[in-house]
DNA sequence: TTGTAAGCGTTATCAC
DNA sequence: GTGATAACGCTTACAA
């Protein structure tokens, strides 16, 4: 007679008049006589029984928990990704254990240690550790970072994204391009955007310059550069490809404030394509990452870790979306 | 001899040459002989032992897990809040179980059911359920929503925030104010901003109009309104208080595109005060919510649920931060 | 088909 | 101070 504690499999068995094993079988969809099944299901409903995740995990080493390891939730891309990952996990009856590492390799190491000692079924990580030791065959899927041939990696098609941006800008009349990007200092899949961008520029014979800023650095030098080369008199660059929509919007606003009109004088394309919460459309012309799709793919990989061909690198298609900062139609809609 | 499974308390006991009980005592900081303690600690280090959360939770009903129940991570305020909550929990050795409800009351109900059947030590929730049944004495802390006298609620000082915004705008010369806000239809603490804003306006004899948009609604009517009343000829309103920085930035950009100069013709103040990731400063003049402080307070409340005077409503101070969309100094710095 | 019983890794209550 | 030992709620051979 435990008064205020939640009902256990034992209570269900007692109420249904069957044994523990039978209840367990019903719960786990194992073959059970029709009569017992009904009785057990009724008892479960009556008592409001819910399986204790911890007991189950202890016995079967199935935790129904996946760790989500991210550096921060302060960048919209990370936030949206986490949103989709969590929903995807919940849809499949899994729980999301969120861990924020704050770009700290030590913290990342700790998270993985926790996963490794079977406190989670696996981890989906967006890591910035320069030299991460991926020990053992712990189920791990990375996003935007290829860690080794035995660790599947999911990313958007960054190279193609870079190409697409260059192609669009050039097609829309740009004759001098700038590629602006913030990096963490740690190599990752997004680096490929630059390659794709430059390749297309070279192929079209359009000059292009790349500026990479460090993550921690102040943006002052960047804005100074933009001021000098774009804002005074005749802009030196008439097309800018930015590493994120966030950056694109900043540049956009900066140009506005300096009287440079977008997209008339300068056209801008960002990266990410996160729709604005209110308008439902993007806040600038952009290369859209299939975030929901990436989340789904990551969860698929983690949950079928052993069945799947491990080492698969999943590279999902990106899409160009006009958003008012380029001289094409803002939307592909009927308008 | 379990080869690839992580070491247990049993392994530690064997290596250290003591009993299970002794190891447990060392782990839990219970009185133990100096010699044993040292031996056990060495064994733990050698084996890389880490306590199994699940076994511990099963036995002691302490899960060291707090559920974070949020409608979405797609709004920067929610994302930043989750970021801070998670970090605060991790700092104290707790784990964050993230649940995204997508504004769905059924999903919220499910999350709470899970917490109730002791799968977590408590929940911190930002809920939009119109009629949430807070059953039992499950440790629950809400954010921005007062659910009942037995549920502690943490929020920023919304009323004061509204007052502050009005006071600033009026002090900076505005003579006709507009309050723009998006609501979910569910009453909550943020509603108080309007009251504070209107109170100050009335006190100063400055006319003010409030427009509240539904969450799901398209923003079209809003922009149409802004276009009609602000963008053509002499703006009818020369000061706008927005429900979030996101909204403020949209309005800002919309005005820019219509040739209305900010802050010269119209001044704007947002709400949230989330610093831009790159610049480290806010993207518009704003009322800053103490997000980290709110997270810390929520975690404090949850972890000391029974010790604390339950029902406490914690209302944390907000701050006005100039950010370029008002006619005052953009920063309080030395510059 | 169903029930019995062992054990997952801990903690806690006892004797020693 | 230390060490057996019985739970915690569940899964899973194995027995009936």
Collect all residues of chain A within an 8 Å Cβ-Cβ radius of residue B279: 218-219, 250
Distance, angstroms, CA A21 to C1' D15? 13
Residues A163 and A128 in one domain: no
Residues B29 and B18 in one domain: yes
> Strand D positions with any atom < 7 Å from protein CB?
1-13
Same domain, A281 and A164: yes
The answer to whether residues B210 and B144 belong to one domain is: no
Model confidence at B250, in pLDDT bands (50, 70, 90)?
Answer: confident
**A250, A273, A290 - which closes a domain:** A290
The pLDDT > 90 percentage for chain B reads 54
Q: What domain range includes position B28?
A: 9-51
Largest CA distance in chain B: 87
Judge whether residue B225 has pLDDT over 90: no
Is the Cβ pair B54, A80 closer than 8 Å?
no
Closest Cα in chain A, distance from residue B44 (Å): 14
Query: For A161-168, what is the mean pLDDT?
Result: 97
Residues 6-65 of B with CB under 8 A from A: 6, 48, 50, 52-55, 57-58, 63
Q: Provide the pLDDT confidence category of residue B213 given band limits of 50, 70 and 90.
A: confident
Look at B220 and A150; give whichever has higher pLDDT. A150
What is the per-residue pLDDT across B171-205, written as a single tens digit (0 to 9) for each?
999 999 999 988 877 888 999 999 999 999 999 99
Identify whether A99 is part of a domain. Answer: yes
Cβ <8 Å between A98 and B87: no
pLDDT at A335: 30
At A279 the pLDDT is 66
Are A192 and A267 in the same domain? Answer: yes
Pairing of strands A313-316, A319-321: unpaired
**Confidence check: pLDDT of A229 > 90:** no
Contact (CB, 8 A) for B270 and B244: yes
On whether both B103 and B247 belong to a single domain, the answer is no
pLDDT digits (tens, 9 = 90+) for A178-191: 999 888 778 889 99
| Among candidates B95, B114, B283 on the partner chain, residue whose Cβ is nearest the Cβ of A97 | B95
Distance from CA of A197 to the nearest CA of B (A): 23
- Judge if A162 and A222 occupy the same domain: yes
Q: Enumerate the residues of chain A whose CB falls inside 8 A of the CB of residue B102.
A: 87
Q: Is residue A323 part of a domain?
A: no
**Radius of gyration for chain B, computed over Cα atoms and rounded to the nearest angstrom:** 26
B189 and B81 within one domain: no
Give the nearest nucleotide to A25, CA to C1'.
D11
Q: Which nucleotide is nearest to B25 (CA to C1')?
A: C11
pLDDT tens digits along A245-282:
988 988 888 888 788 888 999 999 999 998 876 666 78
Q: How confident is the model at residue B311 (pLDDT cuts 50, 70, 90)?
A: low
Selected residue of B98, B248, B256 to mutate for chain A interface (largest A Cβ count, 10 A): B98
Q: Is B173 domain-assigned? A: yes
**Are B117 and B173 contained in the same domain?**
no
Checking if the pLDDT of B306 tops 90, the result is no
Measured distance between the N- and C-terminal CA atoms of chain B, rounded to whole angstroms: 67
CATH number at residue A252: 3.40.50.2300
Interchain pair B279, A250: CB under 8 A: yes
Look at residue B321 and tell me if it is in a domain. no
| Average pLDDT of every residue of chain A | 87
B148, pLDDT greater than 50:
yes
pLDDT, one tens digit per residue, over B42-71 is: 999 999 899 998 999 999 888 899 999 999
Q: What is the pLDDT of residue B1?
A: 35
A167 and A251 together in one domain: yes
For position A182, what pLDDT does the model report? 84
| Average pLDDT estimate for B106-130 | 84
Contact B196, B160 (CB under 8 A): yes
When CB atoms are compared, the residue of B54, B279, B283 closest to A58 is B54
Number of domains in chain A: 3
* The predicted structure's pLDDT at residue A96: 95
Sheet (strand B239-242) strand order: B208-214, B177-183, B239-242, B267-272, B286-288, B319-321
Q: Using 50, 70 and 90 to split pLDDT, how confident is the model at B133?
A: low
B250/A136 touch (CB, cutoff 8 Å), yes or no:
no
Residue of A33, A39, A36, A44 whose CA lies nearest to A7: A44
Select from B124, B131, B114 the least CA-distant residue to B69.
B124
CATH number of domain containing A27 = 1.10.260.40
């Amino acid at each position: 007679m435990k008064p205020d504690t939640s009902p256990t499999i034992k209570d269900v068995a007692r109420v249904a008049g069957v044994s523990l094993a039978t209840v367990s079988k019903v719960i786990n969809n194992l073959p059970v006589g029709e009569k017992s099944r009904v009785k057990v299901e009724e008892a479960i409903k009556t008592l409001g029984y819910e399986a204790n995740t911890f007991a189950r995990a202890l016995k079967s080493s199935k935790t129904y928990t996946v760790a989500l390891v991210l550096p921060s939730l302060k960048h919209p891309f990370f936030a949206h990704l986490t949103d989709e990952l969590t929903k995807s996990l919940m849809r499949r009856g899994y729980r999301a254990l969120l861990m924020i590492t704050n770009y700290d390799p030590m913290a990342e190491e700790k998270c993985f240690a926790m996963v490794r000692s079977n406190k989670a079924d696996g981890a989906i990580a967006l890591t910035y550790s320069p030299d991460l030791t991926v020990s053992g065959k712990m189920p791990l899927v990375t996003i935007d970072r290829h860690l080794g041939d035995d660790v599947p990696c999911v990313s958007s098609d960054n190279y193609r994204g870079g190409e697409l941006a260059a192609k669009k800008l050039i097609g829309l009349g740009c004759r001098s391009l700038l590629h602006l990007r913030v990096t963490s200092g740690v190599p990752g899949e997004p680096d490929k955007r630059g390659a794709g961008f430059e390749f297309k520029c070279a192929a079209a014979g359009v000059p292009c310059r790349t500026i990479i800023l460090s993550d921690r650095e102040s943006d002052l030098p960047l804005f100074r550069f933009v001021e000098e080369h774009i804002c005074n008199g005749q802009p030196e660059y008439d097309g800018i490809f930015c590493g994120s929509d966030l950056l694109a919007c900043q540049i956009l606003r900066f140009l506005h404030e300096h009287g440079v009109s977008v997209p008339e004088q300068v056209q801008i394309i960002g990266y990410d394509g996160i729709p604005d919460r209110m308008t439902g459309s993007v806040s600038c012309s952009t290369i859209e990452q299939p975030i929901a799709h990436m989340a789904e793919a990551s969860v698929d990989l983690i949950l079928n870790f052993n069945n799947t061909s491990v080492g698969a690198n999943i590279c999902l298609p990106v899409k160009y979306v006009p958003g008012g900062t380029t001289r094409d139609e803002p939307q592909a809609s009927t308008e």
